[in-house]
Amino acid sequence: MLRSTALGGTRSALVVSLLPGLALGQFLTGFYNPILPGFHPDPSCIHLKEDDTFYCASSSFNAFPGIPIHASKDLTTWRLVGNALNRESQLPELAISNGSTSGIWAPALRYHNGTFYVVTTLVHDKKAPEDPTRWDNIIFSTPDIWDESKWSDAVHFDFEGYDTSPFWENGDSYIVGSHAYRVEPGIHLSKVDLKTGEVKSNWTNLWNGTGGLAPEGPHIYTKDGYYYLMIAEGGTGLGHMETIARSENLYGPYDPNPANPILTNANTSEYFQTVGHADLFQDRRGDWWGVALSTRSGSEYITYPMGRETILTNVTWENRSWPVFNNPIKGAMRGWQLPRIIQNLPGDGPFVTEGDNNLQFRPGSEIPPHFVYWRPPIKENYAISPEGHPNTLRLKPSRLNLTALDGNAGGPGGQTFVGRRQVDTLFTYRVDLNYSPKTLEEEAGVTLFLTQNHHARFGLTMLPLANGSSSALVPHFRFDAISYIPVPPSFSIPLSASMQNKTLTMEIRTVNQTHFSFAAGSAKSREPLTIFAYAPGDIVSWGFTGTLLGVYATSNGGNGTTEAYVSNWKYEGWGQIRDNFAGPLVQ
Ligand SMILES: *[C@@H]1O[C@H](CO)[C@@H](O)[C@H](O)[C@H]1NC(C)=O
Ligand SMILES: *[C@@H]1O[C@H](CO)[C@@H](O)[C@H](O)[C@H]1NC(C)=O
Ligand SMILES: *[C@@H]1O[C@H](CO)[C@@H](O)[C@H](O)[C@H]1NC(C)=O
Ligand SMILES: *[C@@H]1O[C@H](CO)[C@@H](O)[C@H](O)[C@H]1NC(C)=O
Ligand SMILES: *[C@@H]1O[C@H](CO)[C@@H](O)[C@H](O)[C@H]1NC(C)=O
Ligand SMILES: *[C@@H]1O[C@H](CO)[C@@H](O)[C@H](O)[C@H]1NC(C)=O
Ligand SMILES: *[C@@H]1O[C@H](CO)[C@@H](O)[C@H](O)[C@H]1NC(C)=O
Ligand SMILES: *[C@@H]1O[C@H](CO)[C@@H](O)[C@H](O)[C@H]1NC(C)=O
Ligand SMILES: *[C@@H]1O[C@H](CO)[C@@H](O)[C@H](O)[C@H]1NC(C)=O
Ligand SMILES: *[C@@H]1O[C@H](CO)[C@@H](O)[C@H](O)[C@H]1NC(C)=O
Ligand SMILES: *[C@@H]1O[C@H](CO)[C@@H](O)[C@H](O)[C@H]1NC(C)=O
Ligand SMILES: *[C@@H]1O[C@H](CO)[C@@H](O)[C@H](O)[C@H]1NC(C)=O
């Protein structure tokens, strides 16, 4: 069994995970999954011949900036190029999305005649499936994928469904999408002008899939005189799978592959589950590769805080034959010879597994490109190195807390929160927080955040003493969690005098594969931090997104306006578990 072993203390640790049967130095065909760990679902990837680079887009739901694009030369190291959705003005409607599973679903990334396209859907998931305003289908394009500012505003087009993907032939552009399945099921095709969004023909149902739940995530490929229509079915949970059909005519009829499903980990005991929603591309040598989403949950499917991640596998696709995926998906795999790196990747974005090594928020710097807000931010609530507070990130509290009014909608004033993805099974996240709350209920701290209705937060707030010995307000540590399943109890405890009016280190850390700890201590002290709470990962294992680690500030509906200053932001991964793991972790 492949396993990761974590050794060492809080700050430094060693992870050992070897590909079975491979000696060091022989990694030419071996690679690890996931290739994009953490909240990177619904991958769509291309290989661009012009610069011999692979590019992948991921779903981002309510997170903003959205639609992260990663690039790689070797299929194993991936750098953040930028976010296709990086200005609120590109898609103002994201600000009023309601629902934890709303927002950007399944961007399809394609390159055609000098332009990159992302075709996707802003889904208002609280609306009924038959409500046409539930589905806001959009196209973004850019001539230069490395310059974030070049991405166009959203061009809207009419389609009552989601998972839309473009395809070109004879100078015409087409889009396939998953029609809202409870109304008129199936995968539909139409000619669409990608510049204007004009739908130029009626949507035609090409295929309903093999009978699995929710036929979705379609892509069309042409090869050897066939149109191949590859889709996901079975829902994005344990029954997820990829199926394919083909036709000699674009409009069908499509014949299903007798060997369907062509990619799935369903009905296996693999650590990687829910494999599906795939895309296909060739490298420079002509070898085929597939990407798909997967959760590292085991078949128990209980603890998977990082949600749906991006995996890679090799594919054999012979002439006039069906593509054959290497599956089941595992943490250590062997595929085709990995592309050799001839030129380094351009850009200065972080690599996906890089961590945050004591970010300083220096004067003149910007919020890093891998940080996200929940919906577009109220900009004035965030400032880097404001007057008198160099090397800090200043947070102004929002009236709404992380749950907001009902756990689903946002609201006026936004929610002051900024975070980054959890990308390691085992990690330590720490910030220093300079915050002295003054007003009843105002609060700032750190959070393990999946959605408004699935998170745990640990912060400082102003409360009267619980024993009523005085009506004076005293700063308290407060822990709160929310989920659809039972959460650890909320509590608040007065800060000891030695912790008041001091910069505190606030920490969220994994204690093992299933649990997180929440700790604090004086930032100046050399004493170990004190752990105040534990929370199990199953409370943030839900839905379509993956956990973020970040900071928040709120008046909790009250009148507080005290600002919080965040500094020394660290995220360090110290263990990546890639296979069923039963033994104790060495810490
Ligand atoms: C979300 O809910 C709010 C308040 O209920 C409403 O004003 C807004 O229009 C809703 N957004 C959408 C896209 O329906
Ligand atoms: C490619 O783009 C150029 C200009 O950008 C345009 O003139 C040409 O018609 C396009 N070709 C195709 C096949 O779409
Ligand atoms: C779409 O379908 C309608 C009704 O079936 C038909 O009248 C119309 O001509 C079709 N439009 C196009 C562009 O094919
Ligand atoms: C898909 O199923 C519907 C019935 O739900 C049927 O009317 C339609 O013909 C089917 N489409 C195809 C392409 O098989
Ligand atoms: C998994 O097993 C169930 C029950 O036997 C079956 O209905 C389903 O089709 C299987 N799924 C896959 C993808 O093989
Ligand atoms: C497969 O097709 C390619 C391109 O059409 C051709 O170069 C190659 O010789 C074919 N291979 C076989 C085994 O037919
Ligand atoms: C995957 O790659 C290995 C070589 O490492 C090869 O033996 C195997 O046939 C490939 N599988 C598929 C389905 O392409
Ligand atoms: C109330 O709680 C505070 C802080 O824990 C403590 O210092 C104080 O002695 C308590 N008062 C009474 C009456 O128990
Ligand atoms: C912290 O600062 C506040 C306001 O300046 C003050 O009232 C309080 O006594 C201080 N607490 C301690 C323990 O020094
Ligand atoms: C993980 O840590 C939690 C909290 O300390 C503990 O309750 C749980 O038993 C641990 N699980 C394992 C498998 O060690
Ligand atoms: C969030 O704030 C609302 C008031 O706006 C409050 O009712 C609710 O209790 C708060 N939620 C939590 C988890 O504290
Ligand atoms: C906020 O301030 C107003 C006006 O001073 C007051 O009436 C109200 O009670 C305050 N709200 C809270 C939650 O303290």
Q: Which of 125, 136, 160, 216 is catalytic?
A: 216
Q: In the beta sheet, which residues pair with residue 165?
A: 176
Look at ligand 4, atom 3, and give the residue with the nearest C-alpha: 185
Phi and psi dihedrals of 460, rounded to 5? -110, 135
Q: Is the CB of 465 under 6 A from ligand 8?
A: yes
Residues of the chain with CATH 2.60.120.200: 356-575
Chain centroid, CA 32 distance in Å: 18
| Ligand (nearest to CA of 251) | 4
CA of 169 to the centre of ligand 2 (A): 13
Question: At 498, is the secondary structure helix, strand, or coil?
Answer: helix
Q: Which fold has domain 356-575?
A: Jelly Rolls (2.60.120)
pLDDT tens track for 262-321: 999 999 999 999 999 999 999 999 999 999 999 999 999 999 999 999 999 999 999 999
Tokens of 434: 């300079």
Look at ligand 7, atom 8, and give the residue with the nearest C-alpha: 335
CA of 247 to the centre of ligand 6 (A): 19
Look at ligand 8, atom 5, and give the residue with the nearest C-alpha: 494
Q: For position 12, what pLDDT does the model report? A: 28
Look at ligand 9, atom 3, and give the residue with the nearest C-alpha: 501
Q: For position 580, what pLDDT does the model report? A: 84
| Ligand (nearest to CA of 172) | 2
Q: Is the CB of 126 under 6 A from ligand 1?
A: no
Q: For position 182, what pLDDT does the model report? A: 61
Look at ligand 5, atom 12, and give the residue with the nearest C-alpha: 266
Q: Classify residue 97 by its DSSP letter.
A: -
316 touches 323 (CB < 8 A): yes
b/e per residue 144-178 (b: at least 16 CB within 10 A): ebbebeebbebbebebbbbbbbbbeeeeebbbbbb
CA of 462 to the centre of ligand 12 (A): 14
Q: For position 10, what pLDDT does the model report? A: 30
pLDDT tens track for 344-394: 899 999 999 999 999 999 999 999 999 999 999 999 999 999 999 999 999
Look at ligand 2, atom 13, and give the residue with the nearest C-alpha: 171
Does residue 5 have a pLDDT over 60?
Answer: no
Band of pLDDT at residue 14, cut at 50, 70 and 90: very low
Pick the closest to residue 276 from 227, 322, 229, 311 (CA basis).
311
Residues in the chain: 587
Using CA atoms, how far residue 241 sits from 327, 510, 528, in Å, is 11, 31, 47
Phi and psi dihedrals of 570, rounded to 5? -130, 135
CA of 319 to the centre of ligand 6 (A): 6
**Pocket residue to mutate for ligand 3, from 202, 204, 251, most atoms within 8 A of Cβ:** 202
- First-to-last C-alpha distance (Å) of the chain: 20
Does residue 79 have a pLDDT over 80?
Answer: yes
| Ligand (nearest to CA of 497) | 9
Q: For position 181, what pLDDT does the model report? A: 61
Task: Evaluate the omega torsion of the peptide bond into residue 43 and state whether it is cis, within 30 degrees of 0.
Answer: no
User: How many CA atoms are closer than 13 Å to the CA of 560, on its beta-carbon side?
Assistant: 31
pLDDT tens track for 118-147: 999 999 999 988 899 999 999 999 999 999
CA of 304 to the centre of ligand 7 (A): 28
Does residue 529 have a pLDDT over 90?
Answer: yes
Pick the closest to residue 284 from 492, 50, 37 (CA basis).
50
pLDDT tens track for 477-508: 999 999 999 999 999 999 999 999 999 999 99
Q: Which residue bears the tokens 């928040």?
A: 552
Cα dihedral sign, 407-412-416-419? positive
Q: Which atom of ligand 4 is nearest to the CA of 253?
A: 13
Q: Which atom of ligand 1 is nearest to the CA of 98?
A: 1
CA of 485 to the centre of ligand 10 (A): 18
Can you spell out the DSSP letters for 203-259? -EEEE-TTS-SS-EEEEEEEETTEEEEEEEES-SSTT-EEEEEEESSTT-PPEEPTT
Q: Which residues line ligand 5 (CB under 6 A)?
A: 239, 241, 261, 264, 266-267
Q: For position 584, what pLDDT does the model report? A: 56
What whole-number distance in Å separates Cα of residue 137 and Cα of residue 127?
15
pLDDT tens track for 419-464: 999 999 999 999 999 999 999 999 999 999 999 999 999 999 999 9
Q: For position 583, what pLDDT does the model report? A: 58
CA of 40 to the centre of ligand 5 (A): 26
Task: Evaluate the omega torsion of the peptide bond into residue 397 and state whether it is cis, within 30 degrees of 0.
Answer: no
Q: What is the mean pLDDT of the chain?
A: 93
Band of pLDDT at residue 184, cut at 50, 70 and 90: low
Residues of the chain with CATH 2.115.10.20: 34-336
What whole-number distance in Å separates Cα of residue 327 and Cα of residue 35?
16
Q: Is the CB of 501 under 6 A from ligand 9?
A: yes
178 touches 217 (CB < 8 A): yes
Q: For position 185, what pLDDT does the model report? A: 75
Band of pLDDT at residue 582, cut at 50, 70 and 90: low
pLDDT tens track for 320-333: 999 999 999 999 99
Q: Which residues line ligand 3 (CB under 6 A)?
A: 201-202
Look at ligand 12, atom 2, and give the residue with the nearest C-alpha: 559
Strand residues in 452-586 grouped as ranges (E): 454-464, 473-482, 491-494, 504-510, 515-522, 530-536, 548-554, 564-575
pLDDT tens track for 531-563: 999 999 999 999 999 999 999 999 999 999 999
Total H helices, total E strands in the chain: 0, 40
CATH second-level architecture of 34-336? 5 Propeller (2.115)
Q: For position 19, what pLDDT does the model report? A: 45
Q: Which residue bears the tokens 């060997």?
A: 259
Q: For position 168, what pLDDT does the model report? A: 98
* 42 belongs to the catalytic site: yes
Chain centroid, CA 134 distance in Å: 22
Q: Which atom of ligand 9 is nearest to the CA of 500?
A: 13
Does residue 469 have a pLDDT over 90?
Answer: no
pLDDT tens track for 257-277: 999 999 999 999 999 999 999
Q: Is the CB of 586 under 6 A from ligand 10?
A: no
| Ligand (nearest to CA of 131) | 1
Q: Is the CB of 367 under 6 A from ligand 1?
A: no
Q: For position 342, what pLDDT does the model report? A: 79
CA of 280 to the centre of ligand 1 (A): 37
CA of 500 to the centre of ligand 9 (A): 7
